[in-house]
Chain A
């Protein structure tokens, strides 16, 4: 018999905190199965885009924890901007390549998708959830504007990223 266990992101606590109260062979078998699924889950998470993005975010933040972090009188990274960036990462679509992440001189967090100097898209996340963007989609095509991050990444932003990568 094949058993499948499906755990979504919201219910993963159930998996991690699972403890069998039974003593029988079947209970032990279930506990062993759950343990093996925990290992698989960790492997899956560490390979995921979300994990890689969080690692990139952590590296970027660690560089800009104090005012004047770059010697040019820049502001330290804003705590609320970090929360917004984490939310953005949680909502990040798997189909889009990973961006570079950095901190800007005003303490906002920047995501950059770069193909070449005439095809790039830059998104800046501030502490209020405002997504400021600017991009180039080939010679002569330039855009910039603003959106707000609520419960999903704005379609406008996703559309522009799809457009950027469709050109390749």
Chain B
């Protein structure tokens, strides 16, 4: 019993330290910042599916933007996405969607706060490329995922 208490104490201490209780809710608004004109269609301002495909680490970088003002959202894009780009490319726009859209597709969304408190990654992508593409199409088709141009 004493051992069990100690074990649980260590476990809760670890979880508290790593803030793993910070679970992203289905109702949260998520945003993907766009820096390349090749990732959206100029004709109708829709985001192309390739904008959501994961990088070589199997992650799609996004930000949690619920309850933030527009100015604050664009500020994150400028300070933490644009400035991290090797050429410091300006933010062209962003695609917003609900976290529930991501979860419904069987993907996961985990906080990753190294860069910023509200940074997260879409993970658990399938290993097959065609399946990834299929899911990326669904993300891009999300009705709210119309590109919001930055001025």
Contact = CB atoms under 8 A, between A and B. Distances in A.
Nearest to A130: B129
B130 A117 contact: no
B56 A126 contact: no
Interface in A95-127: 100, 102-106, 108, 110, 112, 114, 117-118, 120, 122, 124, 126
B31 interface: no
Interface stretch (B6-14, B41-49, B98-106): B41-49
B38 interface: yes
A105 B53 contact: yes
A132 B131 CA distance: 9
B134 interface: yes
Contacts of B89: 71
B133 A144 contact: yes
Contacts of B128: 132, 146
B66 interface: no
A100 B137 CA distance: 15
B36 interface: yes
A126 B61 CA distance: 23
A117 B141 contact: yes
A106 B50 CA distance: 10
Interface residues of B, number: 33
A72 B54 CA distance: 9
A135 B84 CA distance: 33
Contacts of A66: 86
B151 to A, nearest CB: 20
B85 interface: yes
A49 interface: no
B82 to A, nearest CB: 8
Q: Please give me the 3 A-B residue pairs with the lowest Cβ-Cβ distance, nearest first.
A: A71-B85, A134-B133, A132-B129
B38 A68 contact: no
A128 to B, nearest CB: 11
B86 A69 contact: yes
B109 interface: no
A63 B35 CA distance: 11
B57 interface: yes
Contacts of B61: 72-73
A120 B137 contact: yes
A35 interface: no
